Structure 1
């Protein structure tokens, strides 16, 4: 189905309202503004119904979020990750050297999630850490400090008050993030990553040296091996994965599919000819096939499945 510019604009606005109302900090004024927007144009109501339909389907999917204690046996998780790694290797997604350098290291970590899995842990000090898909961490608490080493992936940390006042840090290959009584997100990839603060503040510093940069609530920054970016306002999609969704507002299609591919095993590719197409909506991560179906029906796209593990998105024309 081809959408008019007016329909696309309404979908973008619906995605923004969805993000605001589900942010956890929506006020009565926000809800009143949403109702006024909804009543202003039939296209607004249609766009909102489209958003609600996807959200309802998403809610019917059994959640992958679990909340075990740190003492829970990890054997099943290890087997799941190992099977995923071997599968990816045989389908060509990971070469032998990639498996040795990243996946093998992740198999030796303390706690991890498989592809498409989210898992929450309560730490010994009462802090909590929520692991997103395909994430690996080590936890090291001693008499002087509390440290989470993020090997790969993405976490949301909610720190607890420590009677001994030990500093709480998240360490990646590139940076060290010092929590200042806070709730924050750290995402680490091969050469770069990002930090987003949801409550209070953190200080971010390069492990290679240099001054620390303070990031306050509502802001985020990118980092690389060599530099810290400047803090900027959080995108509305920050942390949406904890509720099981990706929120896209005028997002490039290729970037959206790259993000969606984190939650499914195999290859998900975008035809380069349409990679810069802009997409808005709320897409479920616990059922990526449902997300692809929403893209196919709403944005004149064709989803071609060469196998269960090899999918390409192209224009339907």
Structure 2
């Protein structure tokens, strides 16, 4: 069944709101107006709850182009429209929690744009490197040193603390406690992951689930729990040095990672999504990374514009 005119309009409105709220000019009254729009109609809520699935790659695109691209997607790519307005229509995201997450991401004290990485030195001397499109709050007090990772990925190198306060990183899925260490934490809509580069961390999901990780180990955590433990490889943390390293990685997964470092939409043709790729690809010049893929593999990079790129088989 095709989307109704009302559903199509809700998608267009959601695209405009997303582009507006994601811009550097977003103001507090924009959030209030967006919430009024969101709460006024269940169709608005459904469209907004699905928006993140297709709009995250638009971060960093000029606002007018972002809205135009999403609206064009709504008209010409029916599967994208379905994913926003209809797909999983029987399921309900906890809209209050999602809305709260969105607001926290937009107002986080430390944020990076698409393609940007930024180093921070915290009050205790700890070092934090924010990856692309990340949002972070820092809350230090007399009892603890707490990082709230709202979105994206960070590399943390902890410093000794004279008061022996615990160093914690919270995501919406759980908590990572540093045990005098250097480690990475990431979070997206599906879950979180931590990878330990030096010493150890402890991952906790509430009071009942805990897992200790030592140097060279990583684990995902989220709605399904923690683990299993996996060994780090050369791909872990390569972003800090400006590259993505693929080791027999499906092309679709590699492009999903690469898309985080470039504005616009980067699609993978399903016919080649499972192709196994190995190599190192620069994140500081994603066009060069795409050119390397096209040169080294039987692939073609098709560009509708800088902001709409598809990787497909070369015929």
TM-score higher than 0.5: yes
Give, in angstroms, the shift of residue 79 of structure 1. Answer: 5.5
Give CA deviations for 1:37-88 in whole Å, capped at 9, x if unaligned. xxxxxxxxxxxxxxxxxxxxxxxxxxxxxxxxxxxxxxxx946998648353
Select 2:261's aligned residue among 260, 263, 266. Answer: 263
Q: Which has the higher contact order (CA 8 A, sep 6+)?
A: 1
Give, in angstroms, the shift of residue 91 of structure 1. Answer: 2.0
Query: Does structure 1 retain, via aligned residues, the 8 Å contact 2:59–2:263?
Result: no
Relative to the length of structure 1, the TM-score reads 0.71
Structure 1 83/270 Cα, relative in aligned 2: closer, same or farther at 3 Å? closer
Distance in 1, Cα, partners of 2:199 & 2:67: 42
Q: Does 1:164 align with 2:163?
A: yes
Distance in 2, Cα, partners of 1:118 & 1:83: 13
**Which residue does 2:309 correspond to in 1?**
311
Give, in angstroms, the shift of residue 226 of structure 1. Answer: 3.6
**Which residue does 1:253 correspond to in 2?**
251
Select 2:240's aligned residue among 223, 242, 247. Answer: 242
Structure 1 243/280 Cα, relative in aligned 2: closer, same or farther at 3 Å? same
The secondary structure found in structure 1 opposite 2:125 is coil
Distance in 2, Cα, partners of 1:83 & 1:89: 12
Query: Does structure 1 retain, via aligned residues, the 8 Å contact 2:60–2:114?
Result: no
Query: Does structure 2 retain, via aligned residues, the 8 Å contact 1:114–1:135?
Result: yes
Query: Does structure 2 retain, via aligned residues, the 8 Å contact 1:113–1:132?
Result: yes
**Which residue does 2:278 correspond to in 1?**
280
Stretches of structure 1 lacking an aligned partner (at least 5 in a row): 1-76
Distance in 1, Cα, partners of 2:154 & 2:25: 21
Q: Does 1:88 align with 2:88?
A: no
**Which residue does 1:126 correspond to in 2?**
125
Give, in angstroms, the shift of residue 100 of structure 1. Answer: 5.9
Stretches of structure 2 lacking an aligned partner (at least 5 in a row): 1-22, 27-57, 74-79, 86-94
The secondary structure found in structure 1 opposite 2:289 is helix
The secondary structure found in structure 2 opposite 1:249 is strand
Query: Does structure 1 retain, via aligned residues, the 8 Å contact 2:60–2:263?
Result: no
Distance in 2, Cα, partners of 1:103 & 1:88: 18
* Aligned residue pair count: 240
Q: Does 1:149 align with 2:154?
A: no
**Which residue does 2:48 correspond to in 1?**
none
The secondary structure found in structure 2 opposite 1:292 is helix
Relative to the length of structure 2, the TM-score reads 0.71
Distance in 2, Cα, partners of 1:83 & 1:183: 29
Query: Does structure 2 retain, via aligned residues, the 8 Å contact 1:85–1:103?
Result: no
**Which residue does 1:27 correspond to in 2?**
none
Answer with 78-87 or 178-187: which moved more. Answer: 78-87
Query: Does structure 1 retain, via aligned residues, the 8 Å contact 2:59–2:133?
Result: no
For the aligned residue pairs, the C-alpha RMSD in angstroms reads: 2.5
**Which residue does 1:203 correspond to in 2?**
202
Structure 1 292/213 Cα, relative in aligned 2: closer, same or farther at 3 Å? same
